């Protein structure tokens, strides 16, 4: 994407009513003005709110919103030129149950209040092989999600990374979280139904490369502080690092 293209998208983003772009000072250590109020003030209903974290172009957010008009969906990403795609579609198709927020997920507790969120999708996040603290399914981030997820709230992880899948599964097991489902090849096993076969931009790329796509569904239903899993990290790091040389360039 040329920088001219990016600038055009950034300008158009300013005009989208479904896209929120809080300034850092609106979310850094202060509650955002809509924290706890997204249902009442923005969606104008009490329907469940579902998040997609690191949503990129927003494929899951958009597809789920069209399948479930009685639920609300919020896609979050830091990259404006990617969000533009989902936001543009939502505007053009007048989707009332979708919005996007351009922010860092690190600020998420400034955005959502206790019990405000029913479910989270994390789609093809960077597995952060070297930095557990940066993993969107690591204990640092899960502790943040626990603060706003309903007690029966579900976290869905879809990834091509066997490393991230197994790490997250080990974390859930070690912390006695409820695991609803763990599948290490959703297409090969025939598990990919109309929800799990929604394909994101990155997923399409990984499928083309012949990688298996995994799915994990679990709950953060243990209120005691979470601990990082004890598992054979080095083995997985090495195995996966070998296979991760040709991931899509982190452009746009």
Catalytic residues: 126
Our finding on whether 229 is near ligand SAM (CB under 6 A) is no
* 83, 75 contact by CB (below 8 A): yes
Among 43, 100, 202, 218, binds ligand SAM (CB under 6 A): 202
CA distance 13 to 21: 9
Q: Identify which range of 7-15, 41-49, 90-98, 123-131 contacts ligand SAM by CB under 6 A.
A: 123-131
Our finding on whether 51 is near ligand SAM (CB under 6 A) is no
97 φψ region: left (φ > 0), alpha (ψ -120 to 50), beta (else): alpha
Instruction: State the DSSP H helix or E strand holding residue 117, giving kind and residue range, or none if neither.
Output: strand 117-123
Our finding on whether 8 is near ligand SAM (CB under 6 A) is no
Among 77, 116, 119, 160, binds ligand SAM (CB under 6 A): 77
Q: Identify which range of 147-155, 165-173, 182-190, 196-204 contacts ligand SAM by CB under 6 A.
A: 196-204
Minimal distance, residue 46 CB to ligand SAM, in Å: 27
Across-strand partners of 122? 53, 157
Our finding on whether 165 is near ligand SAM (CB under 6 A) is no
Bridge pairing between strands 149-159 and 214-219: antiparallel
Q: List binders of ligand SAM among 233-252 (CB under 6 A).
A: none
Quick count: other Cβ atoms within 10 Å of Cβ 111?
25
Among 82, 135, 162, 165, binds ligand SAM (CB under 6 A): 82
Bridge pairing between strands 49-53 and 179-183: unpaired
User: Where are the strands (E) in 138-198, listed by range?
Assistant: 149-159, 179-183
Our finding on whether 209 is near ligand SAM (CB under 6 A) is no
Q: Identify which range of 4-12, 24-32, 167-175, 200-208 contacts ligand SAM by CB under 6 A.
A: 200-208
Residue tagged 């083995």 (tokens): 235
Task: List interacting residues with ligand SAM (CB under 6 A).
Answer: 54-56, 77-79, 82, 104-106, 123-126, 200-203
């Amino acid at each position: 994407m040329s920088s001219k293209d990016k600038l055009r998208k950034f300008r158009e983003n300013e005009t989208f009513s479904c896209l929120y772009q809080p300034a850092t000072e609106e979310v850094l250590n202060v509650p955002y003005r809509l924290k706890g109020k997204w249902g009442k003030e923005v969606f104008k209903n009490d329907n469940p709110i579902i998040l997609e974290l690191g949503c990129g172009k927003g494929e899951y957010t958009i597809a789920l919103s069209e399948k479930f008009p009685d639920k609300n969906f919020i896609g979050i990403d830091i990259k404006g030129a990617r969000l533009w795609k989902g936001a543009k579609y939502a505007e053009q198709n007048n989707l009332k149950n979708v919005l996007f927020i351009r922010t860092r997920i690190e600020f998420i507790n400034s955005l959502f209040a206790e019990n405000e969120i029913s479910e989270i999708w994390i789609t093809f996040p960077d597995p952060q092989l070297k930095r557990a603290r940066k993993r969107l399914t690591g204990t640092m981030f899960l502790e943040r999600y626990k603060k706003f997820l309903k007690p029966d709230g579900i976290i869905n992880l879809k990834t091509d990374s066997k490393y991230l899948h197994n790490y997250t599964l080990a974390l859930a097991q070690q912390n006695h979280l409820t695991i609803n489902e763990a599948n290490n090849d959703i297409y090969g096993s025939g598990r990919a139904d109309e929800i799990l076969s929604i394909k994101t931009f990155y997923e399409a790329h990984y499928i083309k490369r012949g990688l298996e796509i995994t799915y994990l569904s679990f709950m953060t239903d243990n209120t005691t502080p979470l601990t990082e899993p004890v598992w054979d990290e080095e083995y997985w790091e090495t195995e996966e690092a070998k296979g991760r040389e040709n991931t899509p360039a982190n452009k746009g």
